[in-house]
Structure 1
Amino acid sequence: MNKMAYFPPEHSSYRVYHGDVADTLQLIANRYIGSQPKHPWVFRASHRGAFKRNIDYRYEFDFVEKFPEIRDGQFVYAWAKLWSDQEAELPFSVSCFGPVRVYVNGELAFKSNIQEDVFPDQRSWFRQKLQAGWNHFVLQFEKTGTGCGGHFGTGSIKGLPLHFVTASAERDGQEGWLYTEPLDERLAELPGEGTTEADDPVRWLPQAAWEEAELRRGVFGRLFADEEGEVAYAWTKLVNQRPDGAAVEIAGEHRGALTVYLNGKEVYRSASDSGNYRITVPCGYGVHDLLVRSERPADDAKWDHELRMISSGTALQAPVLVHGFAADWLYTGAFRKGSEPAAADLCRLDTVFEAAKGGTYWRVDQPNTVLRPFVETTHYGRWNYPLGVTLYGLLRTGLKLGRQDYVDYVLDHIEQCTAYEQYALWDKEQYGGAGINHQLTAIDSLDDCGSFAATMLYAMEQRELKGARKVADRIAHYISHEQSRLEDGALYRVTGSTLFMKDTMWCDDLYMSTPFLARYYELTGDRAYVDDAAKQFLLYKKYLYMPELKIMSHVYDFKFDKQNKVPWGRGNGWVLFSLTELLRVLPEDHEDRDELLTFFRELSEGYLALQGENGLWHQVLTMPESYEEASCTSMFIYAFARGVRYGWLTNPEPYVEAVERGWEGLARYAIDGEGNIYGVCRGSGYAFSALYYKDDLPWNLNDTHGIGIVMLAGIETWLLREALRNRNSEHGERTDL
């Protein structure tokens, strides 16, 4: 048995399918989709008067602003909970406006020191073990001369943009934190699991219930009293479970001229400003959109409506499950009369409506409380660069296997993000950190956009995806006009989420940029984008190529003005993989094509020489003692197979052999019989020491940096075999997915 084996030979996919590509791809795809099923957003009630998450996804607690009369020596507490699927250790970050303590499940997890107390811009990190299930967080803030409060939340801005949930039984499920008024003494007992607001002697804010005077104003009156505009809407679902599908009866009262719509069509209009009504509505079996439009009464003393079902077997149901608030109706407004959206366009959750005072969304009948979507899955519905290549592999697998269910899974994932593009950007503007599309709404690097968007452009060829073109245009503008560049035009990292990234160039970023630019050129026909992609490869070659080995250094650090000289496997894989994506679309008459083809051949020669005895390449390409790494292996297979198919490699025999050895190596040593992928390096930082890559960057099981790439390697192996069997054309089968 290979001493570096990830599992016993008996557990390999090779033992099951003997390297058959179609069966192996289906095995991987089924495991991935089975473990990451489709999930919609989670919609939570969220109080606008609580605390915002900033762009770094930490909550800002400023109690001097909230309580101007707070005195030195007083304490304020904030309380929320966080879910964990399993026992885990997560990173957290704190910045202190004064003394801060963080308690997790009743135990002290962090206590600020005298230096942290007086440097509010300083970040402090700690890691905390969480139990499976709910974990209660209580923050204790003390008022001193420097302030009271701080920033608290995730210690991994892009990797783990956490949001917290209110923890009391009365508001269970709302997003955000409860907090106390200033207290003269510390709490004798911290709140936790089972604590209710009703039984707790402490008053927890923000206000959850309407005052009596507000209730008397009616639902529209209390929600929109301070809003400009004369029109508001209420939306619910009418559920008809009568098997005969007969018409149903509805009754109600209103204060303010009223119109009722069923599935976008008007079914009732009041003849006066107020009164009672009873109508019969033709309504088949099933669930239907019921929408009420109401106009503000002239006296504005009470603006209200009530509606109830008369027919048996019928009920009202909230348009979406709202966590943290039990009610059947959502509300939006207020709009200028004559300028409101059409009724047929209102019953949706992916749109911000233009109201009298700007954008507005749906809210619930609770003080200052809005509806917000949140992504609470680990994979489905998220937008990040590893998922971009995962979905690319899964989409091509679905197309090659003729599995429309795989294709639809990918397209639906992408469209869930793009359809909410407008909303997510507005959400970020309103609340500091969006609840969905985290990286897409806060683009500040190539990682945030290029990988996933390249797959999105490919997906757009399969069917129209709502909002996708706007996303593509925004990303093209970012890469071309906003991303930092050197004077010669080379893309690089002038800043980063961590200090060591400052003033660096990573070979990874060729994948984060050039495949998108190549596909955007195909979409628009604008040659400037493919010109830029070609230019980037030649510029990166200037800074990162190691001609003596014919491979690439991982990083060039402009702080030291030198390469780090470490040939990290996946970084090199991104380079060759991306170059094939560019060469596929680069015009035959392009001025840089010959030079780029020469570069592709030189790199291929360098990588070919470093293939390991098991057919796999290593984490550090020049260190056979480093582990066999699946993602770089897959990318070299992918690129070699394409190089042969497209005729870019003039001496194809050794590359065909390398592809076959590589795919067999993956099937034997990296893919087990249940479709799990082993040996994929986790996301990396960088160092000038090769030992960082060898020893401090371990592999992860089923890491999304590798799942899709392994599938892509299988696809290209399959296409190469077909091409070699088909010698009826000059270069064999060239059909590209």
Structure 2
Amino acid sequence: MLCDLTLILVTLASVVLARPQSYAVWAADSGIARGQGNGLDTRGRAIVSYEHGEFQWGLRQLYELTGNQTYFHYIVEGVDNIVFDNGTVHGSYTVTDFVLDPLRTGPTFLYLYEETGKSKYKLAADIFRGQLNAHPRTAQGQFWHKLKYPNQGWLDGVYMGEIFYAQYTSRFQPDNTTAWADITSQFQLMFENTIQNATAPNNTGLLYHGYDFSHKQVWASPDRGHSPEVWDRALGWFSMALVDILEVISTTNPGHNTILDILRTLAPRIRDAADPATGAWWLVITQPGRAKNYFESSGTAMFVYALLKAVRLGYVVDNDGSIVAAARKAYAYMTENWVVSNSDGTMNWLNTVIDPQVGSLDTTGDFDYYVSQPTNLNDLKGLAAFVLASLEYERLQN
């Protein structure tokens, strides 16, 4: 009897500790177990957070793939923590702050409206859409990243604002040609103002973190006002925005080809910027191998997601297989170096550089600035990106 009981306990323990075969499921379940991405901050207060929106996008895909209601219920819980029954968005969100970051939760509002029909989610989405009507812009028409950063466009902001803008337009204003042209312009202006030119030092042909159209910031270049370095996560946000927007904007819309051309320009350059030995990407891509630089996990995961999705959906033709091979190599490095198994069956995620300090271009924006910021254990920006990268990798495997 004792031997039988011991066997049962050992068996139960192995079930508890056994991790899912899917890294996407393992990462998502670990985040849920820690209460991450549920519309609350670490003190249990409501917060409208872009990284929660990023995580919810991964959970939505997992729900649609697996049918596991846990993911859907967690999405609902997260949004209900920041949206009152009358549709008011709370959790420190204020329209007149004019910040693009909170709008990343907007796609979840639209999704829940479609799934449940509850008007509060539509009303919440309307509030976000109303912000864009009054959001300040540069003279060229680029949304400022934040009101407190006048005339600054950041790569991050395109992921935060334009996916929601496009999804809202597709659902409620599909014939609004002005809106579609505006959405396309946001991508085009960002690309043109931040692309490294042939004469740039440490030229990768990729995109600087952001630009100041007024040229007033200490870091603003004389030509276009761009910042001095290519930061991996900023480029990662923009790369994910490219592949996600192309699923929303119709192929008959002229903006589709404009955005597609940007993706096709950047994808092989992103591939080529990976470290040849490891396959990962440096925190500061323009300074590979420099002392204090390191391989950063959130940007690497974002690139794997964007590259694999671009090939899977036929946006980028990978004739020689080098883009998929690069993503495979990077993914292997991620799982070997940044995933740590815990005794409770969850996983930890390593090497994601923190925000908000490193996300801001309100200081020097130079190499020393980026590498001075610490990394964060289980940072949701990186964990959510790993969920997304794993979803694409597992689709590739299957």
| Superposition TM-score, scaled by structure 2 size | 0.81
Q: Give the match for residue 587 of structure 1.
A: 250
Structure 2 counterpart of 1:453, from 95, 98, 106: 106
- Distance of 1:663 and 1:597 partners within structure 2: 24
Q: Give the match for residue 318 of structure 2.
A: 651
- Distance of 1:465 and 1:668 partners within structure 2: 43
Structure 2 counterpart of 1:631, from 298, 315, 319: 298
Deviations 1:557-598 (A, max 9, x none): 221452112100000001110011111122112223333222
Q: Give the match for residue 348 of structure 1.
A: none
Partner SS state of residue 603, structure 1? helix
CA spacing shift, 1:588–1:680, aligned 2, 3 Å: same
Q: Are the equivalent residues in 1 in contact too, given 2:267–2:307 (CA < 8 A)?
A: yes
Q: Are the equivalent residues in 1 in contact too, given 2:38–2:81 (CA < 8 A)?
A: no
Report the alpha carbon displacement of residue 629 of structure 1 after superposing the two structures with TM: 1.2
**2:357 is equivalent to residue 682 of structure 1:** no
**2:23 is equivalent to residue 28 of structure 1:** no
- Distance of 2:244 and 2:44 partners within structure 1: 25
Q: Give the match for residue 554 of structure 1.
A: 209
- Distance of 2:266 and 2:37 partners within structure 1: 39
- Distance of 2:350 and 2:36 partners within structure 1: 21
Deviations 1:17-64 (A, max 9, x none): 7xx8x5322222222112118999xxxxxxxxxxxxxxxxxxxxxxxx
1:133-144 matches, within 5 Å, as: none
- Distance of 1:23 and 1:600 partners within structure 2: 28
Structure 2 counterpart of 1:603, from 242, 266, 281: 266
Q: Give the match for residue 394 of structure 1.
A: 59
Structure 2 counterpart of 1:617, from 267, 272, 281: 281
- Distance of 1:512 and 1:685 partners within structure 2: 15
The structure with higher relative contact order (CA 8 Å, sep 6+) is: 2
Structure 2 counterpart of 1:715, from 382, 386, 391: 391
Structure 1, unaligned runs of 5 or more: 1-15, 41-374, 426-435, 723-737
Partner SS state of residue 556, structure 1? strand
Partner SS state of residue 552, structure 1? coil
CA spacing shift, 1:442–1:677, aligned 2, 3 Å: farther
**2:179 is equivalent to residue 534 of structure 1:** no
**2:159 is equivalent to residue 514 of structure 1:** no
Q: Give the match for residue 369 of structure 2.
A: 692
Partner SS state of residue 672, structure 1? strand
- Distance of 2:163 and 2:44 partners within structure 1: 22
- Distance of 1:670 and 1:527 partners within structure 2: 45
Q: Give the match for residue 377 of structure 2.
A: 701
Q: Are the equivalent residues in 2 in contact too, given 1:394–1:406 (CA < 8 A)?
A: yes
Q: Give the match for residue 307 of structure 2.
A: 640
CA spacing shift, 1:379–1:395, aligned 2, 3 Å: farther
Give the counterpart letter for 2:162 in structure 1: T
Q: Give the match for residue 239 of structure 2.
A: 576
Report the alpha carbon displacement of residue 443 of structure 1 after superposing the two structures with TM: 4.4
Percentage of matched positions with identical amino acids = 22
- Distance of 2:162 and 2:36 partners within structure 1: 30
Deviations 1:408-444 (A, max 9, x none): 111221133223455x67xxxxxxxxxx521256642
Q: Are the equivalent residues in 1 in contact too, given 2:210–2:227 (CA < 8 A)?
A: yes
Q: Which structure has the bigger radius of gyration?
A: 1
Deviations 1:74-120 (A, max 9, x none): xxxxxxxxxxxxxxxxxxxxxxxxxxxxxxxxxxxxxxxxxxxxxxx
Q: Give the match for residue 5 of structure 2.
A: none
Q: Give the match for residue 469 of structure 1.
A: 122
CA spacing shift, 1:671–1:455, aligned 2, 3 Å: farther
Structure 2, unaligned runs of 5 or more: 1-17, 199-203
Q: Are the equivalent residues in 2 in contact too, given 1:418–1:471 (CA < 8 A)?
A: yes
Q: Are the equivalent residues in 2 in contact too, given 1:635–1:713 (CA < 8 A)?
A: yes
CA spacing shift, 1:718–1:531, aligned 2, 3 Å: farther
Q: Give the match for residue 8 of structure 2.
A: none
Report the alpha carbon displacement of residue 642 of structure 1 after superposing the two structures with TM: 1.3
- Distance of 1:32 and 1:555 partners within structure 2: 30
Structure 1 counterpart of 2:195, from 545, 551, 554: 545
Q: Which has the higher helix share?
A: 2
Report the alpha carbon displacement of residue 616 of structure 1 after superposing the two structures with TM: 1.6
- Distance of 2:33 and 2:231 partners within structure 1: 32
Report the alpha carbon displacement of residue 706 of structure 1 after superposing the two structures with TM: 1.6
- Distance of 1:378 and 1:589 partners within structure 2: 47
| Superposition TM-score, scaled by structure 1 size | 0.45
The alignment covers a number of residue pairs equal to 352
Q: Give the match for residue 11 of structure 2.
A: none
Give the counterpart letter for 1:476 in structure 2: R
CA spacing shift, 1:582–1:618, aligned 2, 3 Å: same
Q: Give the match for residue 47 of structure 2.
A: 382
Partner SS state of residue 211, structure 2? strand
Report the alpha carbon displacement of residue 690 of structure 1 after superposing the two structures with TM: 1.5
Q: Give the match for residue 565 of structure 1.
A: 228
- Distance of 2:300 and 2:141 partners within structure 1: 31
Partner SS state of residue 350, structure 2? coil
Give the counterpart letter for 1:517 in structure 2: Y
**2:98 is equivalent to residue 444 of structure 1:** yes
- Distance of 1:504 and 1:39 partners within structure 2: 30
1:164-179 matches, within 5 Å, as: none
Deviations 1:354-406 (A, max 9, x none): xxxxxxxxxxxxxxxxxxxxx67546853211211122222322332332112
CA spacing shift, 1:38–1:542, aligned 2, 3 Å: closer
